[in-house]
């Protein structure tokens, strides 16, 4: 297992990430090192470490001798990231179709069942959790740990925007139908079919595009 002990800087980075995700820090806003230092009751050193981590993951932009600024992705970049996410997941599905283990396939189906239950119960948080697990299984079953890591990284980055999407009326039901198609394709070991199904599931097109844009203007106000 991974080392659980983490330094303060790491926890601060996670906290800051959360604060950026939930909109506490607006787009373009400068993150003052001394202010954050007093806020977290630490010196500038761990703050700077945390900011550098965020800069590398793309959440903030670090301009030399100027400071770091929150950098929320714009509409174009978001579409681009979702496009890449869709393609990466499609690769996972393609590979998983032939590489998946029997136990994992069981897990995939039971997760999907639990997912459906949360839809019936209108349990958005529950859906969110089970859905994430559903996708995580596919990443893992691609049999490519590096690919899995890349998927998790991008998923994490898109997390807040995906969550917004879930609020769209009827989205959950449609999403479940798509899950169903993915599971079917994988059961048939049809890689291309699975890839197409999950690409459809993840990519932002049609109505989803419209809703994503709408959510952005809301978030920007």
Partner DNA sequence: AAGTCTATTCTTGTATACAAAATGGCTTGA
Partner DNA sequence: TCAAGCCATTTTGTATACAAGAATAGACTT
- Contact residues for a second copy, defined by CB under 8 A: 3, 5-7, 48-49, 52-53, 56-57, 63-65, 76-77, 80-81, 83-84, 87-88, 91, 144-147, 150
**Least spacing, CB of residue 62 vs DNA, in Å:** 7
| 32 near DNA (CB under 7 A) | yes
DSSP secondary structure string for all residues of the chain: -------HHHHHHHHHHHHHHTTSSPTT-EE-HHHHHHHHTS-HHHHHHHHHHHHHHTSEEEETTTEEEE----HHHHHHHHHHHHHHHHHHHHHHHHH--HHHHHHHHHHHHHHHHHHHTT-HHHHHHHHHHHHHHHHHHTT-HHHHHHHHHHHHHHHHHHHHHHTSTTHHHHHHHHHHHHHHHHHTT-HHHHHHHHHHHHS--THHHHHHHHHHHHHH-
**By C-beta, is 15 or 49 nearer to a second copy?**
49
Angstrom distances, CA of residue 209 to CA of 59, 116, 132, 141, 218: 22, 24, 21, 29, 14
Partner from a second copy, DNA, none binding residue 29, C-beta < 5-8 Å depending on class: none
**Least spacing, CB of residue 207 vs a second copy, in Å:** 22
Partner from a second copy, DNA, none binding residue 145, C-beta < 5-8 Å depending on class: a second copy
CB atoms within 10 A of CB 219: 14
**By C-beta, is 32 or 106 nearer to DNA?**
32
| 28 near DNA (CB under 7 A) | no
User: Which residue in the set 15, 21, 62, 187 belongs to the binding site for DNA (CB under 7 A)?
Assistant: 62
Partner from DNA, a second copy, none binding residue 136, C-beta < 5-8 Å depending on class: none
Partner from DNA, a second copy, none binding residue 117, C-beta < 5-8 Å depending on class: none
User: Which residue in the set 2, 65, 76, 169 belongs to the binding site for DNA (CB under 7 A)?
Assistant: 65
**Least spacing, CB of residue 15 vs a second copy, in Å:** 18
**Least spacing, CB of residue 67 vs DNA, in Å:** 3
**By C-beta, is 64 or 206 nearer to DNA?**
64
Which residues of the chain form contacts with DNA (CB under 7 A)?
A: 5, 7-9, 30, 32-34, 42-46, 48-49, 62, 64-68
């Amino acid at each position: 297992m991974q080392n659980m002990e983490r330094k303060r800087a790491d926890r601060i980075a996670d906290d800051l990430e959360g604060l950026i995700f939930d909109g506490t820090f607006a787009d373009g806003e400068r993150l003052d090192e001394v202010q954050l230092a007093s806020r977290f009751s630490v010196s500038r050193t761990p703050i700077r470490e945390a900011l550098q981590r965020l800069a590398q993951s793309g959440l903030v932009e670090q301009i030399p001798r100027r400071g770091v600024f929150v950098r929320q992705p714009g509409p174009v970049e978001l579409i681009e990231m979702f496009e890449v996410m869709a393609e990466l997941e499609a690769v996972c599905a393609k590979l998983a179709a032939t590489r998946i283990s029997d136990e994992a396939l069981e897990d995939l189906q039971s997760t999907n069942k639990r997912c459906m239950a949360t839809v019936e119960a209108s349990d958005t948080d529950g859906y969110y959790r089970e859905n994430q697990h559903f996708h995580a299984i596919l990443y893992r079953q691609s049999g490519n740990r590096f690919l899995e890591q890349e998927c998790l990284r991008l998923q994490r980055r898109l997390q807040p925007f995906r969550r917004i999407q879930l609020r769209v009326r009827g989205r959950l039901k449609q999403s479940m139908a798509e899950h169903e198609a993915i599971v079917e394709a994988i059961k048939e070991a049809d890689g291309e079919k699975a890839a197409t199904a999950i690409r459809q599931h993840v990519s932002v097109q049609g109505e989803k595009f419209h809703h994503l844009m709408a959510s952005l203007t809301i978030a920007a106000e």
